[in-house]
């Protein structure tokens, strides 16, 4: 299996699990959300394998340390994964738990995406200051300041609501909410899944429909990354593999990879799975929101990756590559 792509291991990747004497070390970022997600994975695996020992090891990534620069301007695709991947390759940890949206579609040689967990709601959420509780995204007053660190959200919201003012926002989820409540912003846009996992569903003021904001590739799902040759770990993590989410995110990641877009470019997706039919919608937009191309493909879920590549080609024919080239050039200019 080529580890350079976002490879997924099938349920028969390994037929046996070796001696329970080995302690399985799980790598995680130190952020509150990352730890909640990682401890959930640890708990699920412990339930499935009560005779095994799973321990969590934490570390900070470059994306956690650089908080005064917009993510897109840093320019690297592995901001939240590199340190964990180095630790895996050095056998310091056995696998890492990622928000799948943060995991690049091309992985380092020797590593694979071994399992994907069941997806939470992948949509974006509008969170507002208390005085705007009577508003929705389309009724915020002209000039209202909306915070987001995502070019994908920024491009789509600028396209639909050019009368609003958009301002970059960094920091963990609690920090962003504090900045909102302190009055630095009138509203901010966050992932529904993150708020739900941290027990903050009450802060979700409006779930943005796909017509307004297509979500990030992999958003709402957790990706378990491990060494390609570690058959024991690959076998263990199949216990939390969720096949429908795997198929949906495989299509999304193939779409992103085919467009050669990183996590910090205005590319949005939406996938629906009905029985064995997978429908993938994708979008590429300019950062100012003035240029936007969007299309949809449908096919059998067993050909998820092929569908993603097909959609990328359709959008290329509609000008997606030119839009992305302009964005990359602007990022490089700083």
Give me the catalytic one of 51, 64, 78, 102: 102
168 is catalytic: no
Interacting residues of 271 by C-beta distance below 8 A, sequence separation 6+: 248, 249, 251, 252, 278, 279, 280, 281
Contact (CB, 8 A) for 253 and 282: no
Helix (H), strand (E) counts: the chain = 11, 13
Euclidean distance between CA atoms 334 and 319, whole angstroms: 23
Euclidean distance between CA atoms 6 and 116, whole angstroms: 11
Half-sphere exposure of 209 (CA within 13 A, CB side): 4
Contact (CB, 8 A) for 110 and 151: no
* 3-class state of residue 56 by DSSP: strand
Euclidean distance between CA atoms 29 and 61, whole angstroms: 7
- DSSP code string of 254-308: HHHHHTT--TTSSEEEEEEEETTEEEEEEEEE-TTSS-EEEEEEEEEGGGHHHHH
Euclidean distance between CA atoms 281 and 272, whole angstroms: 9
Euclidean distance between CA atoms 143 and 137, whole angstroms: 12
Structure tokens at 161: 């609501």
Active-site positions read: 102
């Amino acid at each position: 299996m080529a580890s350079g792509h976002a490879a997924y291991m099938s349920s028969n990747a390994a037929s046996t699990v070796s001696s329970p004497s080995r302690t399985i070390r799980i790598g995680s970022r130190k952020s509150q959300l990352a730890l909640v997600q990682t401890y959930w994975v640890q708990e699920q695996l412990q339930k499935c394998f009560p005779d095994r020992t799973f321990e969590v090891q934490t570390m900070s990534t470059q994306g956690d340390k650089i908080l005064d620069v917009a993510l897109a301007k840093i320019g690297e695709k592995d901001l939240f994964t590199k340190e964990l991947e180095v630790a895996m390759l050095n056998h310091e940890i056995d696998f890492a738990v990622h928000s799948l949206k943060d995991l690049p579609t091309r992985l380092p040689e020797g590593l694979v995406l071994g399992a994907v967990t069941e997806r939470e709601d992948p949509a974006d959420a509008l969170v507002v200051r208390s005085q705007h509780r009577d508003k929705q995204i389309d009724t915020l007053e002209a000039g209202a300041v909306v915070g987001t660190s995502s070019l994908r959200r920024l491009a789509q919201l600028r396209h639909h609501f050019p009368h609003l003012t958009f301002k970059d926002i960094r920091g963990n989820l609690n920090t962003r909410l504090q900045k909102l409540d302190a009055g630095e912003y009138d509203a901010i846009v966050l992932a529904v899944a993150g708020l739900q996992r941290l027990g903050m569903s009450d802060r979700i003021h409006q779930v943005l429909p796909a017509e307004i904001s297509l979500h990030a590739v992999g958003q709402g799902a957790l990706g378990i990354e491990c060494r390609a040759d570690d058959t024991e770990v690959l076998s263990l993590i199949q216990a939390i593999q969720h096949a429908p989410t795997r198929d949906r995110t495989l299509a999304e990641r193939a779409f992103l990879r085919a467009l050669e877009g990183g996590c910090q470019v205005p590319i949005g997706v939406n996938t629906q799975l009905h029985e064995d039919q997978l429908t993938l919608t994708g979008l590429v937009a300019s950062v100012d929101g003035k240029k936007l191309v969007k299309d949809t493909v449908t096919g059998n879920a067993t050909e998820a990756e092929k569908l993603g590549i097909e959609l990328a080609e359709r959008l290329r024919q509609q000008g997606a590559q030119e839009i992305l080239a302009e964005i990359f050039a602007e990022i490089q200019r700083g």
